[in-house]
Amino acid sequence: MQISVLTPSFNSGKYLRRAIDSVLIQNYANFEHIIIDGDSKDNTLSIIEEYSHLKFISEKDNGQSDAMNKAFRMSSGDIIVYLNADDEFLPNAFDNIVLAFQNNRDADMIVGNLIFKSANEELLRIPSSHYKDVLLYWLNLFPNNPVSYFYKRKVQERIGEFQVQDHYSMDIWFILKAYQKFKIVKIDAILGIFHSDGENKTTTVNLGQNLHNATKQHLFKYNPLYLPFFYFKLLLGRIYK
């Protein structure tokens, strides 16, 4: 199985080498790593040029979703995974994923655990494989970062491109549709590290509000029967949190 690792990047030179090396330490032969850079002005390009195996484009774009779409169009792998430039895989992640797909032939997406790491804490995140749990975003049961889920190519082909105007909640938008329509299998393996140093995009936006808006919009458009359940659980969550 060929694995396509897709990395959107913009002025990510301080992190990028760590991400690239985390792919190489997998010692998995059949992969491609595509980096779509948004015309960075730091040392990103000089780092990319040190690695002959990388496929990359560096040009102005319309944000992260645009870069993710470009990367997918360039890819050819059977299995897709997005690796943000500031995150990393842990050793044996690819072996765990390939084994899981081999043992679960009907699986469309394999979801694993991940470590959330900041300057002040290091937490193990264990996502659920159930659609209802993912709707309750405030419980942190959805895959917090794309480093923790790999999926067959057909999943993204059927869901369609990421919405270019959405720069902050494209991940949960995709996850909600994937969990609703495809076969999700959860494995008990830690696949990667989601880094948060206080400067990356995740920590500079109102993440909770963006997750709320993305979930609500998804339900209005794709699964309105779950709206009463969503608002009831949201009310309980606010009362008892």
pLDDT at 241: 40
CA dist., res. 46 & res. 75, Å (int):
23
153 three-class SS? helix
Which of helix, strand or coil describes residue 104?
A: coil
Summarize the confidence of residues 223-241 as an average pLDDT: 59
Q: What is the mean pLDDT of the chain?
A: 89
The listed range with the strongest mean pLDDT (89-103, 165-179, 191-205) is 89-103
In the predicted model, what is the mean pLDDT of residues 54-78?
Answer: 96
pLDDT value for 149: 98
The answer to whether the CB of 39 falls within 8 A of the CB of 143 is: no
Tokens of 96: 């765990």
Better pLDDT: 47 or 233: 47
pLDDT tens figures, 29-40: 999 999 999 999
Q: Does residue 64 surpass a pLDDT of 50?
A: yes
Burial level of 82, CB count in 10 A (0-12/13-18/19+)? buried
What is the DSSP pairing of strand 122-125 with strand 149-152?
Answer: unpaired
Span 173-200, average pLDDT: 91
The pLDDT value given to residue 163: 87
- Report the percent of the chain where pLDDT is more than 90: 71
> Among 49-53, 85-89, 139-143, where is mean pLDDT lowest?
139-143
pLDDT (mean) for 151-171:
90
pLDDT for position 169: 80
Q: Which residue has the higher pLDDT, 204 or 150?
A: 150
Cα angle 132, 135, 138 (rounded to 5 degrees) comes to 125
pLDDT recorded at residue 124: 97
**Alpha-carbon separation of residue 219 from 70, 139, 140, 178, 185 (angstroms):** 27, 18, 18, 13, 23
d(CA 95, CA 80): 14
User: Whole-angstrom Cα distance, residue 134 to residue 139?
Assistant: 8
pLDDT at 182 over 80: yes
Specify the pTM. Answer: 0.87
Higher per-residue confidence, 208 vs 47: 47
Positions of E strands within the chain: 3-9, 31-37, 55-58, 79-82, 88-89, 109-118, 122-125, 149-152, 184-196
Residue type at position 31: F
b (16+ CB within 10 A) / e for 117-126: beeeeeeebe
In the predicted model, is pLDDT for residue 193 greater than 90? yes
Helix (H, G, I), strand (E, B) or coil at 241: coil
Report the distance separating Cα 232 and Cα 229, nearest Å.
Answer: 5
Predicted local distance difference test score (pLDDT) of residue 240: 37
Q: Are 189 and 113 in contact (CB under 8 A)?
A: yes
In single-letter form, the type of residue at position 69 comes to N
Q: Give the pLDDT of residue 239.
A: 42
For tokens 């300057």, the residue is 119
Q: State residue 183's pLDDT score.
A: 98
The whole-angstrom separation of Cα 61 and Cα 155 is: 24
